[in-house]
Structure formats: C-alpha cells, structure tokens
Structure 1
Amino acid sequence: MSKGLPLFFTLLLSLTVHAENWPAEQWSTGPTVTGPALQALETYAFPTRDDTTRQGIRTDALLVIHDGQLIYERYAGPTRADTPHLTWSISKSLMSTVLGVAYGEGLFKLQDPVLKFYPALAKHPAMTMADLLHWASGLDWQEDYEYAPLKSSVVAMLYTRGRQDMATFTANHDEYAQPGQAFRYSSGDSNMLSAALKSIVGATRYPDYPWTALFDPLGIHNAVWETDASGTFVASSYAYLTARDLARVGLLMARDGRWGDRQLLPKDWVAFNREPFAHYHANEDDAVPGGHWWLNRTVEGAAQPWPGAPADTFAALGHWGQAMYVIPSENLVIVRYGDDRDGHYQHNELLKLALKAFAAKVQP
C-alpha cells in the first residue's frame, strides 16, 4: 500500500497542478487558431489600405500570447518579428515598470515628494511620486499633438523649446490644481519620473538601469530607449521594442510581477498600477488611468470603457494606435502596433474580435 502512495499523489498532482509556460530565448508556440472569428479579426486589423492618404486602419503587428505561449502573430509593411517598433506612450507604462523594480529595491516610496529626487521641482514641493504616476502633477500642461501644435506643451517639449531637457521644461510650468487632486494626462509628468529615477538609482546605474532592472531579466535584448540632451530617458515617447519583447512585459504584469521563480515587481506595485486614480472624473479619455497604465474599470459617471472585454483588462497605450492589452482572466496578452492617423482604430472593437477568436478556443 505504501508503494502506491507516491504514484497516487503523482497522478493527483498531474490533474490539479497546471505547469506554467515561460518564454526562453524564444516564445514557445501553442495551438494554431483558425476559423471565421479569426478571419473577422484580420479583416478589421489588416484591411486593404491606400497608404498615400494615411486614412483608415494600418496594423503593423498583431501578436497574441495565451498562457505564456505564442498562439498568433502577423506583421505588415516594413515591420517584422525582429523590428523594434516605436511604442510612443507605451513608453510611459514601461517607465512605470522600471520604477517598480527600484521600488522593490526599497529606493523610494509612493508618497515621497518628487523634490527629494528632482530639485528642479522646488516650486512644487508637495508633488509626490504617486501624483506623477497618476498624471496628477497639477501642472498646467496641454497634451495636444500635431493637430494643434501652437498651444501644445508636448510638441514644444519633444521638438522645440523643451527638447534639450524635457523634465526641466515640464517643471517650469505653473500649477492649475493642487498635486494629486486632478487628472490631466501629461507626457511631461512621465519625463519628470524619468528624471527622478536618475537620482533614485544613482547616476552610475541610470544609463543601464532599464536593461539591468527589467529588460535583461525578461530576456529582452533589442530594446532601444532614446534620451534627451541631458541624458534622461524620454519616458513619454521614445522606447522601441519588438512585439515579442513587449509581450514579455505584458506577461510579467499578467502574473502580478513574477517572472519564473523571481518576484521582479512587488505585488503591491502591480496592484497600485491596476487601481483607478481616486480623483479621476470621467471625460472623453478612452480608458481609466491607473498608475501609468490604463484600466477597463467603471468609475462614477461612466461605463466600462471597453465593454467587449473583461473588467480586469488593463493596457499600455500609445499614439497612432500602439497598444498592449493584458487580460488576466483569459490568460491573454495582445500586442498591437500600428500607424493610425484618423481615429478609425477602436480598442474595444479589436478586443471584442480578438476575444471571439481566441478566448473560447484556448480554454482547456
């Protein structure tokens, strides 16, 4: 009888324990998905388009990870599997993730004044790290893009008056609200976080820190992150990753900051990222702000932003249709790169079609 116990427990464990999949140098592949639902997704994501007008949806890459395995991948145009693509504002969520490693090292607290790490904020001593992560600095910032360049703070920061030192340019703005009391999306807030990180980890570690802290542990070897003339990473805009590499960050977040046996991000950091900003009031923004991530959560006065997806969906989003969606309840990470200039691309539509194509088919 005693000889049978090990076999019994082995069989029992094989039925109850699900082995996790983690990417090695390459992603392992799961079952191929086919059928009408996939065709509908591809029709939406990869339509015939006249690039001379730059009108309509243009998807450069679409990649789906289920349960740690690559189950779908398609590229278009010049983008390939080994192309580091400009992520635009997905860079903001990447900076939050890098900061999470420093937070786990005990190098700062969410309620620390940013002034402690960034003296250029002497005019704004009450601003905290959490305020910046919520895009709630209170600074009078205008996040208008190429369609309204004359009044745009971000255009001036990236391309004209502020491009030499983007964080200092931001810090010199006046306040329109008390820090932490109002949401106003700001690429400048993200670049002040990047400048604070330089002091948090030290000038010696800083130039390599995104790699040593995050990219290398995840097996990301081809990331590019531009700096401004002051040597500060442009956390608002200028990180470049392949779709496969960005999906590694999504898997890390889907699994609450754990990578294999290592808790790379503290669980409370990931929980903070995925909690809505308490003083957010719904407006025309497409999703609910968390800690430098975007959430599919209901808030007072507004319905769920993406009703076609589960409420636990959260995302890193960027200009012209860059997106990484993380759906923990479905064990899915979806990366989408594109070049959409006219607003035709809709997050909810892609999520709805992707879930029809993949969620029902990948259940055990």
Structure 2
Amino acid sequence: MSLPRSSPAEQGVDARGIDAFLAALEPLPEVETHSLMVVKNGHVVAERWWRPYGPDRPHLLYSLSKSFTSTALGFAVAEGLVDVDATVLSYFPEWDGLVTDERSRRIRVRDVAAMASGHAGETIDEALAKGDGDMVLGMLLLPPDYEPGSVFAYNQPCTNALSAIIRRVTDGTLTDFLATRLFQPLGIDTYGWWVDRNGRELGYSGLHVTTESIAELGQLYLDQGRDLLPATWVAEATRAHVLTDQGNIDSSQGYGFQFWRSRHGYRGDGAFGQLMIVLPEADAVVALTGQSPDMQAVMDQLWIHLLPALTADDGPAGPWPAEWPELPGPVDAGARRDEWPDLTEPFATPPTATFEHDRASATRRVHTVRITPTELTLDDGRPVVAGWGDTSGPVIPYYAWDGGRIRVDVIFVEGPHRLRLTLDPATNTFAEDWQTEPLGPTPLRYLRMPTTST
C-alpha cells in the first residue's frame, strides 16, 4: 500500500455519507460492488472489498484501460516522441500509398485521443476486416463520415492507434513504456495487459490492476501530474475537446483525451462498473470495481450521498468498519436472488459427482466443464485453471444442490464476470448463463491477469 491512510474525520469527511452511499447501492438490481476506495486530501479514508475480492486482487478494467493509454501518450508528448498535432498517418509512412482518402490523411493524434476521428460510430469490426487484422490501418482505410476533430464517436480503433503510435516511437510495448514512467514510480507492482495475436496491447481494454492502482492514477491527475506528468498535459487530457450526447447525463458532458467529463470532475470508466472519478472540487478520488451494468445509477448515488460527505466542513468522529462483508451470496441484489438459493459455500469440497459435457454457446465459445471430487475445469480451447479447491486462484466457484442438479456460480475474481451453470449429472447436460457476459469474443483466459506480468 503506497497511499497514506487516515480516518474520515481527520480529513473532514462525513463517514455517514460513505455508509449512505453503500446502502443506496445495495438494493439496485444492476449494481454489484466488488471494491471501493475513497481518497481525500491524498489520504485513503475508506476502503472496502466484498469477498471473494481483496486488496491484492487485480481486476480487469475494460475501457478504464484507456486512461492509462492516455497517460502513456502524455509521457510520450512530454519526451518529444509524439506530436498531438501530427497526423496518425505520419507515424506509419509505409501506408502513405494505401491511404488515399483526404479526411483519413488529416486525422491527427489529438483527434483519435478525443474519439473524434470523424467516423460516425464504432468501426472495430470493419477496421479489423479492412486492415486484414491491423486495426489502425483498417481505420485509416475507412473514409471518415465527417471532418476529423468535429464529432465524437466512441470508437476502439482510435485508442488502438495511440497504443500503436507509442509502440512505433519507442520500439517497445505499451506496458514496458508505462512500467518505468508510471507503475514503478507509483509503487504499482501488480499489473498485466492482455495482447492480441501479434503480441500487441489493445490500448482500449485488457489492463488488470488493483483498486489502489486505480486510485493512484486518479491521485496523480488530481495532483497535476506531480513530478511525473506535466500539469499542462493533465489540463489538456481532462478538458472537454468534443461534445458528447450518450443518452445519460454523466456521459454527455464532453470527452477529453480518453477521459470523460462528468457533472462533477472527470473520470475514466470501463464496462460493468470500473470507475476512477477525480473530483478537484473536493480534493478527492473515488475508485470502484464491480459487476454493475448500470454505471449511471452508481454515479447518481455518488453525487447524492458521497460528494456531500467529501465536501463537508467537518466530518464527525466515528470508526469506519475494518471488516470485509461477504457478497450477498454469489448473486446479485435484485429479484434473481430467489432463483439461486443457498449458493454461498465456496467450492473447497466439490460435489461428489462426475460431469463432463461440451457445447457451443451463442457466442461460439466452446466450454468444457468437468466436475470431479478434486477439480472443476473450464476450457475454451486452452486450460484456464485446475485444482479449484484452492480459492486463491483466479476463479472461485460457489455451489448448491437443487433437486438432484448442481447449481454453480463461477466467479472470475480478476474481472467483473460470473458464469452460472446448472448441471444435471443424470442426463449429462448443463445450461450456462452469464450474469454479465464478457464483451466481444472474449476467451475465458482473458478474464484473468496475464501470468507473465510482474
């Protein structure tokens, strides 16, 4: 732990507001919190993990990874390696004869950093096809619908272009570039970034870090970059460069360089509730991970309960509970809880049954499930984990018998997903149901941090 600890009262925080925030989240049907860290005046004043999650456990960030990629761009700009006003094409001169559309040729680094390439929407599938697997080339070969820099469209190839530019100018990986400039100076030693089949980080997703590492990045930006990032970069990256209209209030406040503006402050966020909220007005950072598709509901409650507590003149004395609560079963807090009774026992002693079955899911992943007295294995073509009685692994199953069938919740504790299985040994069949299904054709192995990382 590298951030100093303090009580809420010592930092002028009303601890009752923290409790009220958590109480307001608990009954929401599409919100399940895995961790919370609140930082005020540079001190952690509240931290909480819901078992089986914990402080040393990395979590898949999904698109919150984008803010780390933006930070890498900030270092590259500060070191004179990248010019945000240069065109993307200028970093790939070998494509000069291939990219003929004038708008494509005018896309600047700052345009892709602000999700303003000029394309009207998401182009990831088209870009991969057009570029024969190279997303950046494919994006440049797709003529923009509008002048670059003029309109916002959340578009993964934009962030991928930043990652590719950094690799090009450093002749190394995005992870290695950040390791010496960000991770090591901030004391972040648990991290891993999944790569594509060519060994390249996606940039827009795939990073795993701990909750405190999320808070550390937020505090770095709150501190105007300290002695690591120029304050001018922090200001440029976090201001609104383009207007947004995303159907909810906190995603319609404008977009920076891979940061969202919010009603209060700014944030990095990732699918299913991975949040880093920086609140300069309160000198505070809030880091959350979870399995929460309704992130707007989380932010609504944060503004109602937590923000006033962070801006209170005097925080009342009183302890913040140190014990970690159990998740409300391995199920959500909504109506479905009654459908999955008693799924609260970790799978340390597996059921005395043998089950094996293969099936292709709707997303064309093939799952092999084996349950024996000693192991439970999931396989999507490559082994994920064996020996599941060891609950320190990246997957923790909970189970219950139900009328001759076995109901199992498989919790991927290094990410925001849970796979629910109903197994029937008598008929050798099973049904699967993701509580929140992974985005895209994500192999199960991508739901854990790469083991090659430090």
Q: Does 1:292 align with 2:244?
A: no
Q: Does 1:27 align with 2:7?
A: no
Structure 1 gap segments, 5+ residues each: 1-24, 50-54, 143-152, 297-305
Question: 1:265 — aligned with what?
Answer: 229
**Residue 162 of structure 1: CA displacement?**
8.2
Question: 1:256 — aligned with what?
Answer: 224
Taking only the aligned residue pairs, the percentage that are identical comes to 27
**Residue 266 of structure 1: CA displacement?**
1.5
Change (3 A) 1:111 1:78: same
Deviations 1:164-219 (A, max 9, x none): 54434434433211111111111121011111111122x24655112122111211
Asked whether the 8 Å contact 1:103–1:109 carries over to 2, the reply is yes
**Residue 273 of structure 1: CA displacement?**
1.1
Task: Judge which range, 206-215 or 229-238, deviates more.
Answer: 206-215
Residue type at the aligned position of 1:173: L
Alignment counterpart, residue 22 of structure 2, candidates 42, 53, 61: 42
Q: How does 1:1-364 map to 2 (within 5 A)?
A: 25-32=1-8, 35-45=15-25, 47=26, 55-119=29-93, 120=95, 122-123=99-100, 124-142=104-122, 153-154=123-124, 164-201=133-170, 203-204=171-172, 206=174, 208-258=176-226, 262=227, 264-277=228-241, 279-280=242-243, 282-284=245-247, 286=251, 287-296=253-262, 306=263, 309=264, 313-341=265-293, 345-360=297-312
* Structure 1: distance between partners of 2:31 and 2:175: 36
* Structure 2: distance between partners of 1:284 and 1:207: 34
Residue type at the aligned position of 1:324: M
* Structure 1: distance between partners of 2:110 and 2:6: 39
**Residue 269 of structure 1: CA displacement?**
1.1
Residue type at the aligned position of 1:76: W
**Residue 43 of structure 1: CA displacement?**
0.7
Deviations 1:31-65 (A, max 9, x none): 146754232111123x158xxxxx42111111011
Asked whether the 8 Å contact 1:330–1:359 carries over to 2, the reply is yes
Structure 2 gap segments, 5+ residues each: 317-454
Question: Which structure has the larger Rg over C-alpha atoms?
Answer: 2
* Structure 1: distance between partners of 2:286 and 2:112: 27
Structure number with the bigger relative contact order (C-alpha 8 A, sep ≥ 6) is 1
Asked whether the 8 Å contact 1:32–1:71 carries over to 2, the reply is yes
Deviations 1:248-272 (A, max 9, x none): 11111001111xxx2x112221111
Residue type at the aligned position of 2:147: Q
* Structure 1: distance between partners of 2:72 and 2:205: 15
Asked whether the 8 Å contact 2:8–2:315 carries over to 1, the reply is no
TM-score by length of 1: 0.75
* Structure 1: distance between partners of 2:184 and 2:256: 26
* Structure 2: distance between partners of 1:31 and 1:105: 39
* Structure 1: distance between partners of 2:181 and 2:75: 6
* Structure 2: distance between partners of 1:349 and 1:162: 43
* Structure 2: distance between partners of 1:206 and 1:281: 28
Deviations 1:92-126 (A, max 9, x none): 11100111011111112210111121345734211
| Higher strand proportion (structure 1 or 2) | 2
* Structure 2: distance between partners of 1:257 and 1:36: 31
Asked whether the 8 Å contact 1:41–1:357 carries over to 2, the reply is no
* Structure 2: distance between partners of 1:181 and 1:239: 29
* Structure 1: distance between partners of 2:289 and 2:246: 25
| Higher helix proportion (structure 1 or 2) | 1
Question: 2:436 — aligned with what?
Answer: none
- 1:289 is paired with a residue whose SS is coil
Change (3 A) 1:351 1:240: farther
Asked whether the 8 Å contact 1:294–1:316 carries over to 2, the reply is yes
Aligned length: 303
- 1:271 is paired with a residue whose SS is helix
* Structure 2: distance between partners of 1:245 and 1:155: 31
Task: Judge which range, 243-252 or 70-79, deviates more.
Answer: 70-79
Residue type at the aligned position of 1:271: A
* Structure 1: distance between partners of 2:238 and 2:46: 26
Residue type at the aligned position of 1:94: F
Change (3 A) 1:229 1:181: same
Q: RMSD of the alignment, in Å?
A: 2.7
Question: 2:359 — aligned with what?
Answer: none
